[in-house]
Amino acid sequence: MASEGSGEIHLRGIPVSPGVTQGKLVVLSRQEISVPKRPITEAEIGGEIARLEKALLETRQQILKIQKHLSSSIGEKDASIFDAHLLVVEDSSLMEAVKKQLHSRLLCADYVFFHISQRYAQSMREVDDPYLQERAADILDVSRRILNNLTGKVATDHYTLEDNSIILSHDLAPSDTATLDRQKVIGLATDLGSRTSHTAIMARSLSIPAVVGLKDASYNMESGADVILDGYEGIVIINPSEQTSFEYGQLQEKHHELEVGLGELRTTEAITRDNHKVIISANVELPEDLALIEKSGAEGIGLYRTEFLFMNRLDLPDEDEQIETYQKVIQAAMPNSVIFRTLDIGGDKIVDNMGIPDELNPFLGWRAIRYCLEREDIFKTQLRAICRAGANQHIRIMFPMVSTFEELRLAKGILQSVLDELQNEKKPHCSDFEVGVMMEVPSLAMIADHIVPHVDFMSIGTNDLIQYSLAVDRTNEKVAYLYQPTHPAILRLIKRVVDAGHIGNVWVGVCGEMAGEVLLTPLLLGLGVDELSMGSALIPRVKRAVQRLDHNEMTTLIEEIEHLSTAAEIEQKLRLVASQHYPELMN
Task: Report, as residue numbers or ranges, the catalytic residues.
Answer: 198, 511
| Number of neighbours of residue 200 by Cβ within 10 angstroms | 29
The residue type at 498: V
Q: How many residues bind Mg ion (CB under 5 A)?
A: 3
Residue choice 17, 462, 469, 475 for contact with ligand PEP (CB under 6 A): 462
Nearest-angstrom CA–CA distance, 103 and 110: 14
- The footprint of ligand PEP on this chain (CB under 6 A) covers a number of residues equal to 10
| Between 303 and 378, CB nearer to ligand PEP | 303
Residue closer to Mg ion, measured from CB, 240 or 461: 461
Distance, CA of 285 to CA of 301 (rounded, Å)? 11
Residue 528, interface with ligand PEP (CB under 6 A)? no
**Of the ranges 17-25, 227-235, 313-321, 460-468, which one interacts with ligand PEP (CB under 6 A)?**
460-468
Give the separation between CA 54 and CA 155, rounded to whole angstroms: 15
Span of 66-74, 142-150, 217-225, 459-467 interacting with ligand PEP by CB under 6 A: 459-467
Instruction: Between 143 and 194, name the residue whose CB sits nearer to ligand PEP.
Output: 194
DSSP 277: E
Instruction: Report d(CA 348, CA 136) in Å as an integer.
Output: 19
CA distance 94 to 115: 11
461 vs 522, beta carbon nearer Mg ion: 461
Shorter beta-carbon distance to Mg ion: residue 352 or 464: 464
Shortest approach of Mg ion to residue 440 CB, angstroms?
5
175 or 462, CB closer to ligand PEP?
462
> If contact means CB under 5 to 8 A according to the sort of partner, which of ligand PEP, Mg ion, none does residue 171 touch?
none
Pairwise CA distance, residues 322 & 387, whole Å? 11
With CB under 5 to 8 Å by kind, the binding choice for 458 among Mg ion, ligand PEP, none is none
Buried residues in 141-170 as b, exposed as e (16+ CB within 10 A): bbbbbbbbbbbeeebbbbebbeeebbbbbb
Residues facing 437 on adjacent strands = 399, 458
Amino acid at 125: R
Position 463 contacts ligand PEP (CB under 6 A): yes
Stretch that binds ligand PEP, among 322-330, 380-388, 456-464, 495-503 (CB under 6 A): 456-464
d(CA 158, CA 312): 14
- Rounded Cα–Cα distance for residues 351 and 308 (Å): 9
What track of x and - describes contact with Mg ion for positions 428 through 447 (by CB under 5 A)? Answer: ------------x-------
Least separation in angstroms between residue 302's CB and ligand PEP is 9
Least distance to ligand PEP, CB of residue 368, Å = 8
Based on the shown chain and the rule CB under 6 A, indicate whether residue 464 belongs to the binding site for ligand PEP. Answer: yes
Work out what residue 511 binds among Mg ion, ligand PEP, none; the CB cut-off runs from 5 to 8 Å by kind. ligand PEP
Q: How far is the CB of 77 from ligand PEP (least distance, A)?
A: 25
The site string for ligand PEP over 65-94 (x = CB under 6 A, - otherwise) reads ------------------------------
Segment interacting with ligand PEP (CB under 6 A) among 28-36, 125-133, 455-463, 489-497: 455-463
DSSP-based three-state secondary structure for 225:
coil
Query: Does 440 sit near ligand PEP (CB under 6 A)?
Result: yes
DSSP for 498-540, written as a single string: HHHHHHTT-EEEE-SGGGG-GGGHHHHHHHT-SEEEEEGGGHH
Smallest separation, CB 307 to ligand PEP (Å): 8
307 sits near Mg ion (criterion: CB under 5 A): no
Provide φ and ψ at 270, rounded to 5°.
-90, 85
Q: Does 344 bind ligand PEP (CB under 6 A)?
A: yes
Closer residue to ligand PEP (CB): 289 or 440:
440
* Alpha-carbon dihedral angle through residues 256, 262, 267, 272, given to the nearest 10 degrees: -170
CA-only gyration radius of the chain, Å: 25
* 464: contact with Mg ion by CB under 5 A: yes
State how beta strands 20-28 and 226-230 pair.
antiparallel
According to the binding rule CB under 6 A, does residue 461 interact with ligand PEP?
Answer: yes
CB of 411 to Mg ion, least distance (A): 15
CA–CA dist 330, 333 (Å, integer): 5
For residue 439, give the nearest of 452, 430, 426 by alpha carbon: 452
Q: Summarize as ranges the residues that interact with ligand PEP (CB under 6 A).
A: 303, 305, 344, 440, 461-464, 511-512
Contact residues: Mg ion, CB under 5 A: 440, 461, 464
